[in-house]
Structure 1
Amino acid sequence: MRNDSNWTTDRRTLLAGAAASAAALLAPAKAFAADGLDAVRKAVAANHDEAVKRLQDWIRLPSIAAENKAMPEGAAYMAKLATDAGFQHAEIVPTRGHPGVFATLDAGAKRTMGIYFMYDVKQYDPAEWSSPPIEARLLDKEGFGQVVMGRGAVNQKGPQATFLAALHGMKKAGKKLPVNLVLVAEGEEEIGSPHFSDIVIKPNVLAALKKCVGVIIPTGWQSPATGGVEINLGAKGVVEFELVASGEKWGRGPKEDLHSSQKARVDSPAWRLVAALSTLVTPDGNTPLVDGFMDKVRPLTPRERELILLASKNLNEADAKRAAGVTHWIDDMSWEAALERLAAQPTINIEGLVSGYTGPGGKTILPSRAVAKIDMRLVPNMTRDDSIAKLRAHLDKRGFKDIEVNVSGGYDPTETPEDSDLVRAMQATYKRFNVPTTLYPRLAGSWPGVTFTGAPVNLPAGQFGLGHGSGAHAPNEYFVIKSSNPKVLGMDEAAVAFVAFLEEIAKS
């Protein structure tokens, strides 16, 4: 999902850097006096090398669903990580696709917290990396400190390993967790979670989740500029698919690649795909034109508009542009308008185009096949199935019945109430760690939170965590281990923050 050089602009955050009042910008690492977590802090520090090695070993086992690579091994390792961290029960759960993992930890507590993990990672090209992507080397990164670099470092193994470090720290400190835990993990998040519901609707898994206060996915999204984080009250849905034009399906053009001189008398599937794509959006590519696609879009509520206005004052536009690597927003719109569009606008995006020869130099052929990899982002009241049906009808109406629509995964948008115990616990923990916090209507990226917030589970769900990493889906992905930035927590203190969060859940 969301491909970009910075995690805060691709898969699970909205903008780099939440800023609040100057008084809130205290260095988090220096603000822990009398917080009651000293014993855990010492235990986590004593376990530091073990926790880092656990993360490195995990990165060195890349499970890639899109390539069917090491999926059984990834599930088995995920189950082992759970039992090593203190979960009394862990099982590998078969699905119609790749397996998941379900685990429970009974601490004898009154309240139970749900945790979502993913053990799969995105594909990678070693030639694009400055450090081998599965060696998980520890490196010094200017302005950040010691980082681990590798595929999955921030998306999602670094934050997840930090949560596991919190559990190991509690064990070493001889303390019981303040809540019981239910862990559900999948191996297909990076292909749109097509079978995640198979895991969640299993009777024993569903019964366990029904006891939870809510569900979080661990994150590490602190802004290096301010130390701030966003609490997202939802996330856009996503659909990933391919559009395929071929001479074979079309009945025109070549069934195999031809010499390009034949273009004078032979139709081109590549140009046919271009023609089909041009009907999906406005000429600038920024507004969907699929028939009926926008009909179910729910307008922003007054409260959502209020949150966006507050965010425009608290967040730094220059930081956001710098993180995204851009100098202009669409139509040179204002900062507030850009934030509003980020939360409210459905999108149809071309992830990649593949046809014919793409190597060095030229190769004069007329390709027999052309493929566009597409993702659509959906906002509340839109659904995956309805959006795909409208796309298919749109193409058919315009004479493109031969264009194949191959859906690989996706899910609906998700929302969580601002006044839920889950969000209140997040706010209380961030306040406890003196972290500037901005509420935002929804994540522009996507995660399968609707599996929890929708029927039959019906729980609040969102992202929580401190620390920092970047480069999800991109080369040189990293996660901070020892921070040299006083506004960003290193792995150890971020682990302690997870313990504090569980304490807030227990009190909620």
Structure 2
Amino acid sequence: MSNLGTIATDRRTLLAGGAAAALFTPGLALAASGDLPAIRKAAEAGYAASVKRIQDWIALPSIAAENLDMEKGADYMAALAKDAGFQHVEKVATEGAPGVFATLDVGAKRWMGIYFMYDVKQYDPAEWSSPPLEARIVDKPGFGKVIVGRGAVNQKGPQAAFLAGLHAIHAAGKTSPVNLVLICEGEEEIGSPHFRQIVTKPHILAALKKCEGVIIPAGWQSPSDGGVTVNLGAKGIVELELVASGAKWGRGPKTDIHSSEKARVDSPAWRLVQALTTLVTPDGNNPAIDNYFEKVRPLTPREKELIALAGKQLSEADAKKALGVEHFIDDLPWEKTLERLASQPTVNIEGLVSGYTGPGGKTVLPGRAVAKMDLRLVPNMTAEDSVAKLRAHLDKRGFADIEVNVSGGYDPTETDENSRLIKAELATYKRNKVPTTIYPRLAGSWPGAVFTSAPVSLPAGQFGLGHGSGAHAPNEYYVIESSNPKVQGLVGSTMSYVDFLYEIAAAK
């Protein structure tokens, strides 16, 4: 549902108050081009349309985990690309959900790759302050006007801001300073199991090979100082389920039975719990899978140096507040927590499901138990090897009956800080006086490894100004009209992508 009636669209209102201090300052390339005034004016004039673009996109959720509206999501993504001026747009079939491939060729000297995802995480409307698909615009104290909805920051808001940049360039009568290759998928939230099928199609691979690198739009400015972190990589991930069942085990019930039978019947739920306890140390904080650390590459001296610098630039109090925690593991010093975040592979339980989970009690002995898991991987681990180690670990301990059902995953990613991509990001941030921290790798995951590894072999990372939070959680939001002088709103975010493209075009 659109709420454009609540948005002030005249320029004076948009730039009033704290937001005025956060006005976008262009990089040298954009300023020197002479294109800035016209593009900025077009971005401001297109504000209401940009907001509606985000709201309409949120209203159509594609949820890979539920196989919900995947074809519709791809078609919608293709329509958005065409509307933004991409000349060649195609839906790309895979063995799973379709992707989208698009190119914008303006005859420029350089090409830039852009990664989008059109899928979002699941949601429970009962947990939200407003319906998660209505994309309501609300006043958020300390932030300004925000859009609240599933996918608002992960990733539809930042992606729509990038598209708004292309609309502004076109509306201003200008052309993009670089050619663009857009690669979209609909299965990121389940570990991108078929994304490599898209990227390695010969004509798509050939297009990517021309690019300077690949970015995923992001809205991660810190509300305390407006700072951003430039990650030189990301952890890999494996998403999977461990399933214990009476049917596979040959013991316990094949379906739920009365709990009084526990006096004489084995429990698949307890068997799963016993298996899970072997995967980590007793405190649950360190993986204990046999040989799990065999290929882990220690932090390099440069990575340790970057982490030490990050420890001085980033706020421990802000991090704890954002996470809603009072302690880190073992009450470690701040810098040590940053080292663990960058260097430690993990074994995490996302959810445990067995038997009856509704109101009150129901005296059953479940015939099946499921643990939803994710493994985070660091260089030089691989998804394939990590799953093999998990399987061997369980088998060695007599848990051969426990199923390991992998839904998706990919390897860690790394990008050289001296690449043209990273230098362009840093230059754009610096000229906007945005505090910047360089960090070895994002503790979260995105399928950048598909780009950084062979056969594509390109630099890849995140970029963007603006702010949002609540990814995967209730009340996810994206700031569109900032009251915080440190954080860009939607127009500033839009202009940051324009500036970045000009920076890539001019970078040496």
Question: Is contact 1:234–1:414 with CA below 8 Å preserved after alignment?
Answer: yes
> Deviations for 1:76-132, whole angstroms, at most 9, x for unmatched residues?
000010010000000000001000000000011000000000000000000000010
Change (3 A) 1:287 1:87: same
Match of 2:322? Answer: 323
**Equivalent residues, number:** 483
Question: Is contact 1:88–1:105 with CA below 8 Å preserved after alignment?
Answer: yes
> Aligned letter for 1:233?
L
Match of 2:174? Answer: 175
Question: Is contact 2:24–2:488 with CA below 8 Å preserved after alignment?
Answer: no
Question: Is contact 1:243–1:404 with CA below 8 Å preserved after alignment?
Answer: yes
Match of 1:351? Answer: 350
Question: Is contact 1:114–1:216 with CA below 8 Å preserved after alignment?
Answer: yes
Match of 1:164? Answer: 163
Match of 2:373? Answer: 374
The 5-angstrom pairing of residues 411-490 of structure 1 reads 411-490=410-489
SS at match of 1:300: coil
Distance apart, 1:414 and its partner CA: 0.1
SS at match of 2:23: helix
SS at match of 1:498: helix
Question: Is contact 1:465–1:497 with CA below 8 Å preserved after alignment?
Answer: yes
Choose from 17, 23, 28 the match for 1:29.
23
> Deviations for 1:52-92, whole angstroms, at most 9, x for unmatched residues?
11111000000000101000000000001001000000000
Match of 2:255? Answer: 256
SS at match of 1:98: coil
> Deviations for 1:205-229, whole angstroms, at most 9, x for unmatched residues?
0000000000000000000000000
Question: Is contact 1:192–1:408 with CA below 8 Å preserved after alignment?
Answer: yes
Change (3 A) 1:183 1:52: same
SS at match of 1:292: coil
The 5-angstrom pairing of residues 190-201 of structure 1 reads 190-201=189-200
Matches of 2:430 and 2:41 in 1, distance apart? Answer: 22
Matches of 2:24 and 2:494 in 1, distance apart? Answer: 16
Match of 1:21? Answer: none
> Aligned letter for 1:370?
A
Match of 2:341? Answer: 342
Matches of 1:45 and 1:108 in 2, distance apart? Answer: 27
Matches of 2:423 and 2:314 in 1, distance apart? Answer: 21
Question: Is contact 1:242–1:373 with CA below 8 Å preserved after alignment?
Answer: yes
> Deviations for 1:144-168, whole angstroms, at most 9, x for unmatched residues?
1111110000000000000000000
The 5-angstrom pairing of residues 3-14 of structure 1 reads none
> Aligned letter for 1:406?
N
Distance apart, 1:29 and its partner CA: 1.9
Matches of 1:427 and 1:38 in 2, distance apart? Answer: 23
Match of 2:8? Answer: none
Matches of 1:429 and 1:31 in 2, distance apart? Answer: 9
Match of 1:285? Answer: 284
> Aligned letter for 1:250?
W
Match of 2:124? Answer: 125
Distance apart, 1:30 and its partner CA: 6.6
- Residue 503 (structure 2) pairs with residue 500 (structure 1): no
User: So what's the TM-score if we normalise by structure 2?
Assistant: 0.94
| Root mean square deviation of aligned Cα | 1.1
Distance apart, 1:31 and its partner CA: 4.6
Match of 2:102? Answer: 103
Matches of 1:27 and 1:187 in 2, distance apart? Answer: 37
User: So what's the TM-score if we normalise by structure 1?
Assistant: 0.94
Matches of 1:32 and 1:118 in 2, distance apart? Answer: 28
Match of 1:203? Answer: 202
> Aligned letter for 1:301?
T
Match of 2:302? Answer: 303
> Aligned letter for 1:96?
E
- Residue 260 (structure 2) pairs with residue 267 (structure 1): no
Matches of 2:254 and 2:147 in 1, distance apart? Answer: 47
The 5-angstrom pairing of residues 219-234 of structure 1 reads 219-234=218-233
Question: Is contact 1:28–1:434 with CA below 8 Å preserved after alignment?
Answer: no
Change (3 A) 1:152 1:307: same
Match of 1:23? Answer: none
Matches of 1:399 and 1:33 in 2, distance apart? Answer: 61
Change (3 A) 1:377 1:90: same
Matches of 2:80 and 2:287 in 1, distance apart? Answer: 43
Distance apart, 1:507 and its partner CA: 1.0
> Deviations for 1:221-273, whole angstroms, at most 9, x for unmatched residues?
00000000000000000000000000000000001111101000000000000
Question: Is contact 2:24–2:492 with CA below 8 Å preserved after alignment?
Answer: no
Sequence identity percentage? 73
Distance apart, 1:28 and its partner CA: 3.6
Matches of 2:72 and 2:116 in 1, distance apart? Answer: 16
Change (3 A) 1:428 1:33: closer
Matches of 1:220 and 1:39 in 2, distance apart? Answer: 24
> Aligned letter for 1:220?
G
> Aligned letter for 2:286?
T
Match of 1:213? Answer: 212
Matches of 2:81 and 2:163 in 1, distance apart? Answer: 8
Matches of 1:273 and 1:61 in 2, distance apart? Answer: 37
Question: Is contact 2:147–2:477 with CA below 8 Å preserved after alignment?
Answer: yes
Matches of 2:343 and 2:88 in 1, distance apart? Answer: 41
The 5-angstrom pairing of residues 15-94 of structure 1 reads 27-29=21-23, 31=25, 35=31, 36=34, 37-94=36-93
5+ residue gaps, structure 2? 1-19
Matches of 2:25 and 2:421 in 1, distance apart? Answer: 23
Q: Which consecutive segments of 4 or more residues in structure 1 shift more than 3 A?
A: 30-36
> Deviations for 1:427-452, whole angstroms, at most 9, x for unmatched residues?
01001211110000000000000000
Question: Is contact 2:134–2:149 with CA below 8 Å preserved after alignment?
Answer: yes
Matches of 1:302 and 1:30 in 2, distance apart? Answer: 35
Matches of 1:137 and 1:61 in 2, distance apart? Answer: 14
> Aligned letter for 2:504?
I
Question: Is contact 2:351–2:372 with CA below 8 Å preserved after alignment?
Answer: yes
Match of 2:112? Answer: 113
Question: Is contact 2:27–2:499 with CA below 8 Å preserved after alignment?
Answer: no
Question: Is contact 1:113–1:179 with CA below 8 Å preserved after alignment?
Answer: yes
Matches of 1:492 and 1:132 in 2, distance apart? Answer: 25
Match of 2:7? Answer: none
Distance apart, 1:33 and its partner CA: 10
